[in-house]
Amino acid sequence: MMEWLGLVAASTYAKDIDFVFDLILWITAFWFLLAEAVFFYLILRFRKKPGVPGQYITGELASEKRWITVPHFAVLLFDVVILFFAVKVWYEVKQNLPQAADQQLVRVIGQQWAWTFVHAGPDGKLDTPDDIIKVNELHVQVDKLHIFQLESKDVLHDFSVPVFRLKQDVIPGRVITGWFTPTKTGEYDIQCAEICGIGHALMPARIVIETSDQHAAWMAQNSTVAVASATAR
Residue numbers at the binding site for ligand CUA (CB under 6 A): 110, 113, 157, 192, 194-196, 200, 203
Nearer to ligand CUA, 161 or 203 (CB): 203
Nearer to ligand CUA, 191 or 222 (CB): 191
Other Cβ atoms within 10 Å of 180 Cβ, number:
23
Kindly state the smallest distance separating residue 205's Cβ from ligand CUA, in Å: 10
Nearer to ligand CUA, 109 or 192 (CB): 192
Q: Indicate if the alpha-carbon torsion angle 126, 174, 20, 26 is positive or negative.
A: negative
Kindly state the smallest distance separating residue 189's Cβ from ligand CUA, in Å: 14
Give helix 212-222 / helix 224-232 axis angle, nearest 10°.
Answer: 60
| Distance in angstroms (rounded) separating the CA atoms of residues 128 and 102 | 18
Kindly state the smallest distance separating residue 153's Cβ from ligand CUA, in Å: 11
Nearer to ligand CUA, 110 or 121 (CB): 110
Kindly state the smallest distance separating residue 83's Cβ from ligand CUA, in Å: 30
Kindly state the smallest distance separating residue 229's Cβ from ligand CUA, in Å: 37
> CB-based contacts of 112: which residues, under 8 Å, 6+ apart?
153, 154, 155, 196, 197, 199
Could you give the 3-state DSSP secondary structure of residue 183?
coil
Nearer to ligand CUA, 115 or 179 (CB): 115
| Distance in angstroms (rounded) separating the CA atoms of residues 108 and 101 | 21
Q: Is residue 192 within 8 Å of 150, Cβ to Cβ?
A: no
Of 117, 171, 122, 173, nearest in space to 148 by CA: 117
Kindly state the smallest distance separating residue 221's Cβ from ligand CUA, in Å: 29
| Distance in angstroms (rounded) separating the CA atoms of residues 76 and 56 | 30
| Distance in angstroms (rounded) separating the CA atoms of residues 133 and 83 | 40
Nearer to ligand CUA, 119 or 157 (CB): 157
